[in-house]
Structure 1
Amino acid sequence: MDLQLKDRLFAVGGATSGLGKAIVEALLAEGAKVIGIARTKSKLEELGAAAGTGFEGYAADLTDATAVKNLAGYLNERELYGCVFNAGGPPTGRADELEMKDWDHAYQGTLRWKIQLTAALLPGMIQRGGGRLLYLESVSIKQPIDNLVLSNVMRAGVAGYVKTLSREVGEQGITCNILAPGYHATPRITTVLKKSAEIQKMKLEEVEEQFTAETAVKRLGDPKDFAAMALLLLSPSGNYLTGQTITVDGGLVRHITG
């Protein structure tokens, strides 16, 4: 199936690791061009050396409002077709372990920058006649995850924003969707597993077995499979899919609508 991605330009956050990196690689394999965004310049250079001419890196801390403003200015100088909003999640923790500064940081790192960057990119997309906005969040939007209260709360806020936005810009040819990953084989899940192992006083391997037992497929997800769904939503073929939160979770979420 030709997804019609060749030579289209995308920006992808969290480009050097986990699900973000998988999406970058999948886009490049389809002939798309990618601006990869991450904090560490050396990692972007390493990825660029492997990726070839279709990739360029942009180093930015997305929790910094000035950095987001500068990034938006850079992207708005280009013919950007789509943007993947992705960055590391907030720290693990229970509600009774956290201070207000933790909530403030989680807002900055999980919700605020996405609103700021979206607002800055929308006028250009509208002028060009459409585009794709894709937000990588978590199954915690539909089913809260223990020891991740910051993620549970802030990502629910993203869902409210994206759903509302999809209603406002749909007529302009812009789709707005969320992909909500479950347990995938990425550095992020290792952090979650370690926190759970600490609380339960269990071995890491035992906790991983406990987590995967909750899924229908009884294993961690492959980031490449996740990226395949992202490509559909980013492509012209996804032009009638908007305002959705789609879980890619191996059957983890038990709600009958997924």
Structure 2
Amino acid sequence: MIAPVRLGAGIGAAFTGRSGGVSAGPYGSLNLGGAVGDAPAAVAANRRRAAAALDIDPARTVWMRQVHGADVAVVDAPGEGLEVDAVATAVPGLALAVLVADCAPVLLADPVAGVVGAAHSGRPGTAAGVVPALLDRMAGLGADPARVRAAVGPAACGGCYEVPAALRDEVAAVVPEARAETRRGTPALDIRAGIAAQLARAGVTDVSVDPRCTLESDDLFSYRRDGTTGRFAGFVWLAEDAG
């Protein structure tokens, strides 16, 4: 299942789901994560399937080695293994991918400047400000936050993402909007609300938030729900004729 996202003319963007791949067992079936224990051949086949569904070149994709930080890389060539949690590019046809299974995938684009970015924003990354850091690097490529369109993808919702009270207070001290309670009234975090607030403070007004909760949807991978599991992805790219 692929969920397209509209981020403006000349911009391609989408969030993948769990179905439509070849992986088996806890990784079934469209696992795109290469470091979760799945068979490498299955992951490669799944990545080719996702690329075909998106009409992008699987050989021109940037895959991060996400480390729950706030470092950002500006990239101009495909590859895998950058130890960062956000990437940006102004190169047409170069797809940026972010892998998740409860954390929020965030896709950003300035269609006028021809700049796109992708971020992995979980609890640590949101508290550290990975999305504002990505916006800063995109601005260095000519993007204007007032023109940027943002899509925050599926993630663990505030009603499900239970954390210790001290941890909630730690995150809320820097991102107050992330403070939440579960449906049982226990301390929780709403990461997507925190990210949306960070975007607003940075001057981004065009923000869409996918309402799906990874813990509640069988169509999505969830580490907190399942433990051993796969990863779905957010993709964003400039069309080849955008340059």
Higher helix share: 1
TM-score tier, shorter chain, comes to 0.3 to 0.5
TM-score (norm 1): 0.39
Structure with larger Rg: 1
TM-score (norm 2): 0.41
